[in-house]
Amino acid sequence: MEIDFLLERILPALNRGVWVTIQLIIPSMLLGFAGGVVLGALRAFGPRWLRRIGDAYTTVIRGVPLIIQLFILYNALPKLGIYLDGFAAAVLGFIMCSAAYHSEYIRGALLSIRQGQLKAAQALGFDKTSMLVSIVIPQALRRALPGCGNEFIYLIKYSSLAYMTTCVDLTSEAMKLAAYTYRFTEIFLVCGVYYLILTSLAAWALNRLEKLAYIPGFGKAK
């Protein structure tokens, strides 16, 4: 690989793309996680009809390939008069998908909190909301963190499907340049390194977060 081609063609294109990718994944991570907490809590503690809806949503979103969901958001919704630009369609698709997966981790963690602790809180006179906020959720989030971290890493990688919505992210830039120059190997190798850096950064941040949130008796020892 000539250094000129790397410096003058690949890096500028991929730098442009990685910036878009970062703009895609940050709102998707935050809102996807928030949505997952709400959805998970509803699926664990909500009234039955809400639980059913939450379960159905999760089944559909987890069961249909993301690429098809993005296609529907970008190409089929306009037929109903709803127009999303490529970026918005991609972010919406990622949030919906991410929330479904997160909700599964959160739901499991919420249900894993020992019933006895809930009884103890009630016996002290806690109302349901402060019991959830002070006792259940702080424990559940710690339990869910490793699973949710996994989902964050996945999100970084499946954000490459944004090309479906003509949103020009890291992968799209690589594909465009490769189609133009026919130098697939070099371009996609470098593109892969970009994703590896992003996921490594995320893994490092998650690791830090786990250490910060560490409490004896929860998860691995420091």
Partner 1 sequence: MHNENQFQATDSPAELAPAEATAAKSLSEEAAASRRDPALAAVNISKSIGSRLILDNVSVSLARGELKVVIGPSGAGKSTFLQCINGLIPPDTGQVFLEGQSLNMRNKHELRLFRQQVGMIFQDFNLFDHLTALDNVAIALRKVRGMSRQDSEARAMSELERVGLANRARLYPAELSGGQTQRVAFARALAMDPKVLLLDEPTSALDPELVGEVLEVIRYLAKGGMTMLMATHQMDFARALAHEILFMEHGRVIESGSPAELLAAGSGTRTLDFCSRLDLEL
Q: Which residues bind partner 1 (CB under 8 A)?
A: 114, 116-117, 119-127, 130, 134-135, 138-139, 142, 215-218
Closer to partner 1 by CB, 119 or 211: give it. Answer: 119
Closer to partner 1 by CB, 28 or 139: give it. Answer: 139
- Residue 108 one-letter amino acid: G
Closer to partner 1 by CB, 65 or 125: give it. Answer: 125
CB of 218 to partner 1, least distance (A): 7
Under a CB-based contact definition with an 8 Å cutoff, are residues 51 and 43 in contact? yes
**Residue listed under structure tokens 């490459």:** 160
CB of 114 to partner 1, least distance (A): 7
CB of 117 to partner 1, least distance (A): 5
CB of 142 to partner 1, least distance (A): 7
Both tokens of 80, joined, read: 């109903």
**Cα Rg, the chain, nearest whole Å:** 21
- Residue 122 one-letter amino acid: Q
CA distance 144 to 149: 8
Closer to partner 1 by CB, 62 or 119: give it. Answer: 119
Cα angle for residues 170, 173, 174 (degrees, 5° grid):
90
CB of 112 to partner 1, least distance (A): 11
CB of 57 to partner 1, least distance (A): 29
Closer to partner 1 by CB, 78 or 138: give it. Answer: 138
Closer to partner 1 by CB, 142 or 176: give it. Answer: 142
